Structure 1
């Protein structure tokens, strides 16, 4: 067993290790969004219905989000490298399985295994950064991790559109096979075997957290599908959500009273920055997921753009976010996080307020690209300081647990964003387009351009919906402004130089 003050062996080369991990991390995040573009093709080829094909995405997100607390802790116990490689192998094999499936039911099952593989990998990337980079270099490392997360969410729909148009929907999964093999070889060679910690596994905590998160995430994720009412018999969406909250409450009580070693060490939340960073990343996950839905519907239904051309609207955001990553990473290692993260969250909220005003039927496309470019600035300044601030003060033996919590809150934020924006879009469409029964997005259209008489009301509805994520980000901004200086900044003289490996 190692102490919290363990030191990484001098022969460890952190940057090559990080690049190897980022490749796999990029791949699994792309798979969170890439399927949305291929849904119509899957629907037609596998002769399914809309209610069933939605589960191709839902099953993946559920299997990804629910086990994150467990896989984060498991990485501390058996080693982050071993669990990462296991997850990458599961994910890659499941991707090939997805491509070869001939029925919608088998595709959904294969996507569950993909999600499980992704859940094994994600916490390990953050845990390894925490353990192999010294505190005053983690900002640049986390900026690469954050830029990967930000860019992957944008690249997914673009890549999906190109592959579906050129080769067929199966190739959105087959493309993972060579990337997964390369990523496995690189991780095997470059990621160090870090010391493990002799944790006892909290089986009661595992059961409670799994049941509670499943009920909560499933209820929120599927609420819109069942109109927030009955699912089957006496089972309703709200009963599932309430049951999930109750079980999570029991889980937290058990964690507080567990005299052994709990699955979720509540001592993590004694670190003010860790708690605040989790609040902030929840709002970011909510907003980034939520804003994409109304924007894509506006682009396709009002402007008549194809799915691929609609996704290309995100290119300025992706380019600016990636270009800013090295600069922001250096800044994170020198500047108190409240200023950097606060600036990023402010830009994000402002960009969405701005975008909501620009969604009009006849507006020039370049005017829409301007707030999206500001969103790229926001992405560049949000992900790195939030991820770095969450983990910087954590003891090494809790790096995996901390990463698991952080990624769980991010995923729950994304699920809340997806559900929340769906409800608001439906509400605004019902108000602005009363002729559309129920106001369901796209109802009464053929998936192409809307009639001119409906374009203004539809555009207004989508713009008003984007005000929701813009407002939620204000909560994250307040949390970021309450960050304190990391311990290493408090201990180092203000004029001391920061030595960072290029």
Structure 2
């Protein structure tokens, strides 16, 4: 395969845009994951049971996933730049307005609206990377975006728990929304590059439906989207309730819970681009199955009741399992979309966030039976799909140069 050469000046502009997209991704995932560790605090402030407050997590994630379908289609029709900037602006405004909530019902409503408003940024950033970088260089670029996701998870959880005593939960939302506005200003200079990278694709409703049929009409498409869905159920279910587990099992304060969760996301934040380069060089077939097995092993270690000092390492292993799977699935999806990159990535993020929401709900539904039962079921399911992945993704090898 002949390696595509990007002109140096254009490459510099691409790299700057890539880092700004990664920052925007970081902020959005930061605010998504800063909520889980403060569920006990919100329960006290809102005078509501923990199980009820926990519903604000799927209240954000599920509408986010559903809305990505519309944003992807809209971006293909009117342009990625228009939809992305409007979505980032909506995210910023709605996150700030969340601080005005006075009850759990109001908080859930603002989270629902924020999920809808925010969902046009990250999937379109991923689709844009698919336009800016050739497939053989795409793993590294996607590693930046997914590394930013992991970083948002890693720092959103502990920072949320650490700063709430100082600035209150309202201040936390004001801070995240203000950062969104700063990113919106910084990205404005890259608007022409975004607009030129992905031209609008017109079509009828029949064209859209045929697009979905083509995406799911191949074995490669079906297995990739299926694994995105199942893997997201696992990671969201475990992580959403991990803070509650640590508080109850180890009798930790919210601040200590945040510190214990710091390991989650660090591998992706530090190693995301390196994992992407490894996928470009050696193929996703060698990384995806081991990533799935790493996630299952992480939950197995929780079942073994490790000492508290090892919990951050267990969280890091769970994060590594995510970082070796979802970014690589995203790379495959960018090769499936053809001219309708927004539609393909919209379906990917829809699948991802619906899985996130259902995973949180499923684990919560299992909690009355005990954390051991819930962890055990999630662990076995992840290990099974990990073993099956050796055969399912054996063809995902780099093309010979």
Structure 2 length normalisation: TM-score? 0.87
Matches within 5 A, 1:188-203: 188-190=188-190, 192=193, 193=195, 194-200=197-203, 202=205
Instruction: Report what 1:469 is aligned to.
Output: 378
CA 1:296–1:52 in 2, change beyond 3 Å: closer, same or farther? closer
Which 10-residue stretch deviates more, 470-479 or 127-136? 470-479
Q: How does 1:37-52 map to 2 (within 5 A)?
A: 37-43=37-43, 45=45
List runs of 5+ in structure 2 lacking aligned partners: none
- Indicate conservation of the 8 Å contact 1:393/1:486, yes or no: no
Structure 1 residue 283: deviation in Å?
2.2
Counterpart check, 1:273 vs 2:220: yes
The aligned residue for residue 322 of structure 1 is 269
Q: Which residue of 2 aligns with 1:451?
A: none
Please say if residues 150 and 266 of structure 2, whose CA atoms lie closer than 8 Å, have aligned partners that are also in contact.
Answer: no
Counterparts in 2 of 1:364 and 1:48: CA distance versus 1, 3 Å? closer
CA contact (8 A) 2:201 2:340 kept: no
Distance in structure 2 (CA, Å) of the matches to 1:315 and 1:80: 34
When residues 294 and 467 of structure 1 are mapped into structure 2, their CA distance, relative to the original with a 3 A threshold, is farther
SS in 1 for 2:209: coil
Give 1:323-402 correspondences, 5 Å limit: 323-357=270-304, 359=305, 364-395=307-338, 397-402=339-344
The alpha carbon displacement at 1:381 in A equals 2.0
Q: 1:482 aligns with which of 376, 382, 392?
A: 392
Look up the SS of the partner of 2:10 in the other structure.
coil
Structure 1 contact 80–124 (Cα < 8 Å) conserved? yes
**Which structure ranks higher in relative contact order (CA pairs < 8 Å, sequence separation ≥ 6)?**
2
Q: 1:469 to 1:154 in 2, by over 3 A?
A: farther
Q: How many pairs are equivalent?
A: 391
Shift of 1:140: 0.4
- The equivalences for 1:36-435 within 5 A come to 36-43=36-43, 45=45, 53=53, 56-102=56-102, 104-190=104-190, 192=193, 193=195, 194-200=197-203, 202=205, 258=206, 260-262=207-209, 265-293=212-240, 295-357=242-304, 359=305, 364-395=307-338, 397-427=339-369, 429=370
Contact 1:281 1:410 in 2 (8 A): yes
Are the structure 2 counterparts of residues 82 and 481 from structure 1 closer, same or farther at C-alpha, using a change threshold of 3 Å? farther
Contact persistence 1:279–1:479 (CA under 8 A): no
8 Å CA contact retained: 1:290, 1:420: yes
Q: Are residue 11 (structure 1) and residue 10 (structure 2) matched?
A: yes
Taking a change above 3 Å as real, the CA distance of residues 69 and 475 of structure 1, as seen in their structure-2 partners, is farther
Give 1:139 shift: 0.4
Q: 1:335 to 1:394 in 2, by over 3 A?
A: farther
What secondary structure, in the 3-state scheme, does the structure 2 residue paired with 1:120 have?
coil
Alpha-carbon distance between aligned partners in 2 of 1:393 and 1:101, rounded to the nearest angstrom: 41
CA root-mean-square deviation: 2.8
Partners of 1:30 and 1:156 within 8 A in 2: yes
Distance 1:286 1:175, change over 3 A: same
User: 1: distance between equivalents of 2:271 and 2:147?
Assistant: 9
**Cα distance, 1:310–1:31 mapped onto 2, change above 3 Å:** same
Alpha-carbon distance in 2 for matches of 1:295, 1:50 = 13
Change in CA separation of 1:126 and 1:32 when aligned onto 2, cut-off 3 Å:
same
Cα distance between partner residues in 1 of 2:316 and 2:99: 35
- Distance in 2, matches of 1:475 and 1:17, equals 39
Distance 1:290 1:112, change over 3 A: closer
Is the 1:162–1:308 Cα contact (8 Å) retained in structure 2?
Answer: yes
SS of residue paired to 2:215: helix
- Distance, in Å, in 2 between the alignment partners of 1:28 and 1:421 is 23
- Measured in 1, the distance between the counterparts of 2:293 and 2:325 equals 10
Q: In 2 relative to 1, CA 184–294 (structure 1 residues): closer, same or farther, beyond 3 Å?
A: closer
- 1:157-192 deviation line (CA, Å, top 9, x unaligned): 212112211111101210123311221122221352
Q: Any stretches of 5+ residues in structure 1 without a counterpart? A: 1-6, 203-257, 430-461, 494-502
Q: What is the deviation of 1:16?
A: 1.3
Secondary structure at the aligned position of 2:35 is classed as helix
TM-superposed CA distance for 1:380, in Å, is: 3.4
Distance 1:300 1:273 in 2: 41
Offset at residue 299 of structure 1 (A)? 1.8
1:86 CA displacement: 0.2
CA distance in 1, matches of 2:20, 2:55: 31
